Amino acid sequence: MLAIRKATDRGASNFSWLDSRHTFSFGGYMDPRNMGFSDLRVINEDRVAPGAGFGTHGHRDMEIISYVIEGELAHKDSMGTGSIIRPGDVQRMSAGTGVTHSEMNASKENPVHFLQIWILPETKGLQPGYEQKHFAPETRQDQWRLVGSCDGRENSVTIHQDVSLYAATLGKGVQIGYELAPERKAWLQVVKGALQLDGQTLKAGDGLAFADLDSLSIVSSDDGTEVLLFDLAA
């Protein structure tokens, strides 16, 4: 099974300070056909104006991953954590029994462009927690780099769910494959650039769901194509 979710088909929220695109149903955007994929519940592509952002608000029982594409995102939460998230960083916040946080553009001059990803946790009522790591460009150049996993292996951030999250940045014409184990599903999200898959072009913002396949092979159409891959439980 291969199913493409085009960027142009996503939901949208537009405010004076925010341009957000929703791969799955979120907030005021409701699409019963796109409520998530396996344990992957939200992929929002957000562009936030300089000096603006999401004020303090609460979450429960969700693994929340922030992935900055361009700019800088300032994070503060009720656990006492504060940080700046930059390109190459992966931040995981476990909302668990309840946490409040804010996400603000750290710059007064430049916009910030990032993905906010929600994954359902393996169990409810977890202790809230936070983790952030940087993955150098050379570790994911023309290859998959594990950046999130259920056991924190290979120095990835720990996600409290049976999921492996990979990132790759590809030069033009580079081909890369992925072998999917039996009884697993995967979601591929194009972050930047474009790629070819079985004669079809996927561009930034496009997503691809696949299952019941032994392997997948993609070819980058642009230099600097950036992709995320979620290996998920069936």
Angle formed at CA 233 by CA 229 and CA 234, multiple of 5 degrees: 110
Angle formed at CA 64 by CA 71 and CA 49, multiple of 5 degrees: 30
Q: Which of 132, 176, 175 is nearest to 155 (CA)?
A: 132
d(CA 221, CA 84): 31
**Band of residue 12 on the pLDDT scale cut at 50, 70, 90:** very high
Question: Looking at residue 213, what is its pLDDT?
Answer: 85
d(CA 9, CA 178): 26
Q: Which of 159, 153, 168 is nearest to 39 (CA)?
A: 159
For the CA atoms of 34, 185, 212, 221, what is the dihedral angle to 10 degrees? 80
Task: State percent of the chain over pLDDT 70.
Answer: 100
Domains and CATH numbers, the chain: 11-135 (2.60.120.10), 138-233 (2.60.120.10)
Beta-carbon contacts of 75 under 8 Å, excluding residues fewer than 6 positions away, are 66, 81, 82, 83, 84, 85, 91, 93, 101, 102, 103
Q: What is the pLDDT of residues 161-209, one digit of tens each?
A: 999 999 999 999 999 999 999 999 999 999 999 999 988 999 999 999 9
